[in-house]
Structure 1
Amino acid sequence: MILAVAAFLTGCQTVDETGRSQLSLVGDTEVSSMAVQQFEQMKSEMPISNDPQMNAQLQRVGKKIVDSARANGADLLPSDQWEFVLFESDQVNAFAMPGGKVGFYTGIFPLFDSDDDMAVVMGHEIAHVSADHGQEKVSHQMANQMAGTALSIGLGIGGVDRDLSQVVMASYGAGSTYGFILPYSRTMESEADHIGLIYSSSAGYDPRRAVPFWQKMAAQGGERPPEFLSTHPGESTRIKAIEKMMPEVLPLYYKATGQ
Structure 2
Amino acid sequence: MRPLILGLLALFLLTGCQESPTGRNQLALVPDAVMADIGQQSFAQMKEQNPVQEDPRVNRLVQCIAGKLVRAAAIQYPAAPMPESWEVVVFRNDTPNAFALPGGKIGVHTGLVRVAETPAQLATVIGHEVAHVLADHGNERLTQELGLKASLFLVGLFTESEIAEDQLQNALGIGAQLGITLPFSRAHESEADLMGLAIMARAGFNPEQSVELWRNMARASGEQPLEFLSTHPNHDTRIGDLSAHMESANQLFRAAVPADCNL
Per the TM superposition, whether the score is higher than 0.5 is yes
Gaps of 5+ in 2: 259-263
1-structure distance, mates of 2:220, 2:151: 37
Equivalent runs, 1:17-166 vs 2, <5 Å: 18-72=22-76, 73=78, 74-77=80-83, 81-155=85-159, 159=160, 161-166=161-166
User: Is structure 2 residue 13 aligned with structure 1 residue 8?
Assistant: yes
- Are the aligned partners of 1:4 and 1:147 in contact in 2 as well (CA < 8 Å)? no
Quick check: 104-113 or 194-203, which moved more?
104-113
Shift of 1:31: 0.7
- Are the aligned partners of 1:4 and 1:146 in contact in 2 as well (CA < 8 Å)? no
SS in 2 for 1:220: helix
Q: Which amino acid aligns with 1:46?
A: N
Gaps of 5+ in 1: none
Shift of 1:242: 0.7
- For normalisation by structure 2, the TM-score amounts to 0.91
1-structure distance, mates of 2:237, 2:92: 31
Cα 1:6–1:178 shift into 2, 3 Å: farther
Shift of 1:222: 4.0
2-structure distance, mates of 1:64, 1:115: 12
- For normalisation by structure 1, the TM-score amounts to 0.92
2-structure distance, mates of 1:4, 1:90: 44
2-structure distance, mates of 1:163, 1:40: 44
Instruction: Note the alpha carbon deviations across 1:192-242, whole angstroms, 9 max, x for none.
Output: 001111111000100001111111112223432211111001222211111
- Are the aligned partners of 1:65 and 1:199 in contact in 2 as well (CA < 8 Å)? yes
Shift of 1:152: 1.4
Q: Equivalent residue for 1:190? A: 190
- Are the aligned partners of 1:4 and 1:143 in contact in 2 as well (CA < 8 Å)? no
**What is the percentage of aligned positions where both structures have the same residue?**
37
CA RMSD of aligned residues (A): 1.5
- Are the aligned partners of 1:77 and 1:100 in contact in 2 as well (CA < 8 Å)? yes
- Are the aligned partners of 1:133 and 1:188 in contact in 2 as well (CA < 8 Å)? yes
- Are the aligned partners of 1:68 and 1:200 in contact in 2 as well (CA < 8 Å)? yes
Cα 1:190–1:44 shift into 2, 3 Å: same
User: Is structure 2 residue 205 aligned with structure 1 residue 205?
Assistant: yes
